[in-house]
A and B are shown apart, each in its own frame.
Chain A
Amino acid sequence: MTTTTTEHMPRATGRRSGRKGGFARSRNADRLTRAIVIVVTVLALVYILLPVYWMVKSSFQTNADIRALPPHWYPHEFTIQAYLDMTYVIPIWRYILNSIYVAAAAAILSTLIGCSAAYVLARFRFPGMTLCLVAILATQLIPPITRAFPLYSAIQSAGLLNSYTGIIIAYAGFSLPFCVMLLRGYFMNNCPPDLEEAALVDGCSYFSAFWRIILPISLPGLAAVTIFTFLNAWNDFLWASLLLNQGDMKTVQVGIGDFSGEGGNVRYISMFMAACVTATIPALIMFLFVQRWLVSGLTAGSVK
């Protein structure tokens, strides 16, 4: 009896101390893990922010200050001259207005066309539904370069090259699938089906249930999707470089290329940086509007 208790005692304490040791070890391991994560995060933040900082910093420098060797990490002569002068070199405000116009038109057009399709694809099952989804997903995913040339030719032969109409059509085409998938996810997650069921029982038609009940309560989602679509079109370079590359009608993404000569040498470097900051600000504002939708948007459909 006594032997068993004496045998038991140390074993029990041993186990307990063993577990304690395990805790201590895991706490030490956690400290190491945290330290590694913090180091990686700091390095990643430097990597992420360096270009942004460099762009903003350079836009407030003189050309000579930017070209100084070794490079200056902050403006030695702080100046906003580049922002004042850039408008003499390229019509940047005009380019920005062009971008806003085509991106907004494309975003509104594709949200309008997309919302009805998104709604029925989210709510009903009907013959051909899978086919519709496959067509939309395939168009959304397969890279635009695989359809750029025929679309370019078609728009050229329709006489719409270097016209706003041409590029708005192209943008609406590439935004629409994205819009439909995003809105479909929104309708599935945020609109309880009981709402329009009640309306249907009351004798509403399917369409007026959609038009009078679903759309009004989905306005925040529609706005977020419109802004995402706007951002996609705002950031585009491929279509803009093909369809709208002459004179005053360029979008800002193509327009800031006016500063660079052959081989990517930038002649007016500080003005170029100021133009880059100017081209980023509208995107930043839009981004801040939709920022809180990012995570839910991604769980719903796939934002790109």
Chain B
Amino acid sequence: MERKRRWFCFFMVLPAILFTVVLGLIPMFTSLGWSFLEYDLMRVQEHGTPFVGLENYRTVLNDGRFLRSISNTFVMTGLVVVVAIALGLVLAHVMKAEYRGRAIVRVLICAPWFVPPVVAAAIWAWLLNADRSPINSALMDAGIIESNIRFLTDSSTWGPFSIPLLSVTAVRIWNGLPFIVIFILAGMQSIPRDLYEAVDVDGGNLWSKFRHVTLPLLRPILGVLIMLLLITGIGHFEINYIMTGGGPQDMTNVMAVYSYLQAFNFFRFDLASAAGGLILLITAAICFFYIRTQLRNEDR
């Protein structure tokens, strides 16, 4: 019986595992392998793909553009994590509270979820077009600014920050917000109601409910959420690529865009794989902690 059950389990997982290995893990390790080869698509005919050790990593890490893209990746991911979670905490409460019209507010908050990222990036690029931006016109009418903000083209920088970087980050926050709100909301629903009633009895206010009940009890969920956002943020590609392609002057370039452009604009699969290898290294490290937390939760 036990043996039969074991075989049954193996057969049932086999197709999914085959797919995962062939389409997920093998390409991932192949890419890692390529990062140690010379793999220039323009020269592969006569040179082949000789082993060069860590040469590709040395090349990309000496490339100012790549260093810039690393710093942008972390700055953008950090901003997304902090701002989106803060905003998400507020909006999750709004979704949970009971009032008339809640159903509509819920759908409206989720709007970015069903707008495809490509469409979102294109519409935002149009909204942030300096001359015709309704945001500029509204700010100008309100007397807040004197001249148009060049959201996607301003080239002044303050350390790692610049207006294009902040603009693209704002679009990424916009894109990720529904997921974050729903994730926090799901966590909030598991908080027992009598804990809030206890605060009521003690005469505590809304803020102390949040500070002393919601936040401490959400901590494990926020931890998981932060790990997920770090992993997706560090590998993020679409919005940066479509909105600016990494420009102007690499101000919005991120590691994934750098990698993609190396491969498909410059045909340097080796450098692209080295950039990808670094993304893999960082995200796999975070992934390790994420998987460990998940498996531990299950054993409990």
Contact = CB atoms under 8 A, between A and B. Distances in A.
Contacts, number: 288
A139 B114 contact: no
A234 B231 CA distance: 22
Nearest to A240: B118
B260 A145 contact: yes
B114 A295 contact: no
Contacts of A34: 206
Contacts of A207: 8
B266 interface: no
Interface residues of A, number: 108
A116 B9 CA distance: 9
Interface in B166-209: 170, 174, 177, 179, 182-183, 185-186, 189-190, 203-207
Contacts of B205: 25-27, 29-30, 33
A121 interface: yes
B288 to A, nearest CB: 9
B82 interface: no
Nearest to B262: A149
Q: Decide if the interface of chain A is mainly helix, strand, loop or mixed.
A: helix
B232 A130 contact: no
Contact of B19 (A113, A132, A273): A113
Q: Decide if the interface of chain B is mainly helix, strand, loop or mixed.
A: helix
A118 B280 CA distance: 26
A146 B113 contact: no
Given A48-B177, A116-B12, A295-B186, A143 B283 contact: yes
Interface residues of B, number: 102
Interface string B82-120: 000001001101100000000001011111111111111
A172 interface: yes
Contacts of B269: 149, 153
A139 B20 contact: yes
Contact of B16 (A25, A33, A114, A138): A114
B244 to A, nearest CB: 8
A191 interface: no
A130 B125 CA distance: 44
